[in-house]
Amino acid sequence: MKKIIMITVLFILYLTPAFAEDTPPTPLSNKAAIELVQTHANYMWTMVAAALVFFMQAGFAMVEAGFTRAKNSINIMMKNLMDFSVGSLAFWAIGFGLMFGKSATGFFGTSGFFLSDFTPDGDPWVLAFWMFQVVFAATAATIVSGAMAERTKFTGYLAYSLIVSAVIYPIFGSWAWGSLFNGSGWLEGLGFIDFAGSTVVHSVGGWAALAGAIVLGPRMGKYTKDGGIKPILGHNIPLAALGVFILWLGWFGFNPGSTTTADKSIAMIFVNTNLSAATGCVVAMIVAWLKMGKPDVGMSLNGALAGLVGITAGCANVTPTSSIIIGAISGALVVFSVLFFDKIRIDDPVGAVSVHGVCGAWGTLAAGLFNMGGVTLSIVMVQLVGIVACFAWTFTLAFLMFKMISKTIGLRVTPEEELEGLDFTEHGGHAYPDFTA
C-alpha cells in the first residue's frame, strides 16, 4: 500500500510544470518569484488599508452626530454619505488628474483625468493607488462637515463637497505628493515632510472648515448678546465615543497604509500612531480637568483625535518617544484651541478646526523638529513654508467658494428651518420619531 501511495505522489509531481522542468529553478527565477509575491502583498496591504480609511467615514459620521443635536442626525448621515459618493466621482473625473497627473510646473497635474491612465492591458497599480487616494480625498471633505453642522443647506453642502474633492484638496496635494505617481510638486521638491497627511489631508480639511464656519456664522442661541457662551450639548456621547474608536482603528490604515508597501516599516508607524493618540487623550483629559474641574469626555475624545492628527505627518520619521511628545502637545493644544475659537465666536460644534487644522499644522512642524535623520533649520523652514502655503491656499479658496455658494444657491438654512431641525426641513423625517429635540 505504501508503495502505491509513493508511486502515485511521484506521478502527480511529475505532471506538475515545476517538477517536469529539466533544469532546477535559477536564482533569477527565484528573484522574479519573490518580486511577484511582494507585488501581490503590496496590492493586498494597500487595499486593506484603503478599506480601513473608508471605515473612518463611519467614525466621522458617528462623532458629528453624537456631538450635535438629535434633530439633525439624518442630515449628518446624508452629508457623510454624500461626501464619499460625490467625492469619489469628483476625484475620478478631475481631482486625481490634478493631484497626480504629469506636471510641467509643479503646481498641478494635467493628465490622468477620468482614470485615463488605466488600460485593460496596462499596469493595474493605478487602480489600487486611486482607491487608496480617494478615501483620503473623502476624509478632507468630511472634516468640513463637522464645523458647519446644524445650519448648512444640503444643496450648498453638496456643492462645496464636490469642489473640495475636485479642486481644493487635489491641487495642494499635488504640491506635496505629486511624485507618488506621475506628478511633481514644488513643495515636495523643497524636501517637505508630510508622510500621511497632517497638512495635506487634515489641515486642508481644517482650514476649509474654518472658512465655512466664519461665512456661515454661529448656530442660533450659541452666543448671548452680552458676549456669553451658551453650550449646545450633543445628544449622544456614547455614539461620539464609538466614532472616535472607529477613527482610531481607521488610522492604522491611514498612517501605515501610506507606505503602500507590505514591509517591516509599518511596525514603527503602527506604534507611533497608537502612542500619540493615547498620550493626546490622557493629556487632553488632564488639561480639561484642571481648567474645568471635571474630566470632560468631549475634550478627551478630541484629544485622542488630536494625537492621531499630530503624528500623521511624522509617523514614519520620528521615534516612539518623540511620538509621545507630539501627542502630548497635541492633546493640550486642542483644548486651548477649542476654547480660543469659542471665545472669538467661531462656532465649531465638533472642534474640527482645532483637531484637524491646528493640530495638523503642529504635527507637520513636529515632523521636522523630531526628524530621526537629523534636525536642521532648513528642514524646519520648509515645514513652515508648507504650513503657511496650505493655510493661504485652502482658507482663501474655501472662503471665496463659500461666499459664492452663499450668494447663489445659498449656504445657510432659514432660522425657522434651523429651529425645526434639518432632518425634517431638509429630508422630511426624524432619526428619532419619539425624540426630535
Q: Encode pLDDT of 30-78 as tens digits.
A: 888 999 999 999 999 999 999 999 999 999 999 999 999 999 999 999 9
What per-residue confidence (pLDDT) applies to 2? 59
196-216 tens-digit pLDDT: 999 999 999 999 999 999 999
- How many secondary structure helices (H) and strands (E) does the chain include? 19, 0
60 contact partners, CB below 8 Å, separation of at least 6: 80, 139, 142, 143, 145, 146, 243, 247
Give the pLDDT band (50/70/90) at residue 19: very low
The yes-or-no verdict on residue 13 having pLDDT over 80 is: no
Residue 6: band (very low, low, confident or very high) from pLDDT cuts 50, 70, 90: low
What CA–CA distance (Å, rounded) separates 147 from 149?
6
Residue 27: pLDDT above 70?
A: no
Domain ranges of the chain: 39-427
Indicate if the pLDDT at residue 334 is higher than 70. Answer: yes
- pLDDT for residue 5: 57
State residue 122's pLDDT score. 86
Q: What is the pLDDT of residues 248-271, one digit of tens each?
A: 999 999 999 999 999 999 999 999
The DSSP output letter for 25 is P
Architecture of domain 39-427: Orthogonal Bundle (1.10)
- Judge whether residue 322 has pLDDT over 80: yes
Residue 374 above 70 pLDDT?
yes
Reported as a pLDDT band with limits 50, 70 and 90, residue 227 is confident
pLDDT given at position 31: 87
Contact between 350 and 146 under an 8 Å Cβ cutoff? The reply is yes
